[in-house]
Amino acid sequence: MVEQYKLPALPYDFAELEPVISAEIMNLHYTKHHQGYVNNLNKALEQYAEAEAKQELQQMVALLSAIKFNGGGNINHSIFWTNLISEKKGGGLLENGKLSDAINQEFGSLDAFIADMSAKATAIQGSGWGWLGYNKARKRIEIATCDNQDPLSTKGLVPLLGIDVWEHAYYLQYKNVRADYVKGIWKIINWKNVEQRFLDAAK
Ligand code: MN3
């Protein structure tokens, strides 16, 4: 029996990220979408273990796509929830420190970084994620985008800050205007969480 993955606890109530993200979106996104990735990941891993026990290599290879998609979905959302915090509790505030230094060095200013990442996340064709990641080989932060639920590790980067631009993340509130959702999300970024991820990655 394979160890089962579980939906991680959400660090706030569904309504806490309003008005940027509505409680209805949070509820559906967490209890239906993220839970769905967790359930389907567990199912695929169990089938994989069965196939592996029987040395059914063709079946094992056929399951890899479901493991990548649903495993990526679980990884990405687990990071995304912690990247967010209500405005009242300090959302959107990046204090001076090593991360702000790195952002200034790489992008010139926080505003320039936000403009760059917003443009790249908004321009993703179809479903995907915009990321700020850490390149351990170059010892630098980078903006990257991923399609579908591909986790950022597939691009060789450590994920620091992700923006989910799947329509399920914004459509009920922002309809087709992804740019407005991306513009708003900067007000609820938990920069302390992003900075801790940066410090851990750069160790
Ligand atoms: Mn999502």
> In the predicted model, what is the mean pLDDT of the chain?
97
Q: How far is the CA of 78 from the centre of ligand 1 (A)?
A: 10
Q: How far apart are the first and last CA of the chain?
A: 35
Confidence tier at 2 by pLDDT (50, 70, 90) = low
Dihedrals phi, psi of 117, to nearest 5 degrees: -65, -35
**Mean pLDDT value of segment 57-74:** 98
pLDDT, position 1: 60
Confidence tier at 5 by pLDDT (50, 70, 90) = very high
Q: How far is the CA of 170 from the centre of ligand 1 (A)?
A: 9
Contact call for residues 165 and 185 (beta carbons, < 8 A): no
**Mean pLDDT value of segment 10-34:** 98
The helix-helix angle for 98-107 and 191-201 (nearest 10°) equals 80
Q: How far is the CA of 105 from the centre of ligand 1 (A)?
A: 31
Q: How far is the CA of 15 from the centre of ligand 1 (A)?
A: 17
pLDDT, position 142: 98
Q: pTM (2 decimals)? A: 0.97
CA distances from 19 to 112, 118, 173, 178 (A): 24, 19, 10, 16
pLDDT, position 3: 77
pLDDT, position 191: 98
Q: Which two tokens stand for residue 184?
A: 């708003």
Q: How far is the CA of 50 from the centre of ligand 1 (A)?
A: 29
Q: Which two tokens stand for residue 79?
A: 């990071």
- Measured from the Cβ of residue 75, the count of other Cβ atoms closer than 10 Å reads 20
**Mean pLDDT value of segment 35-56:** 98
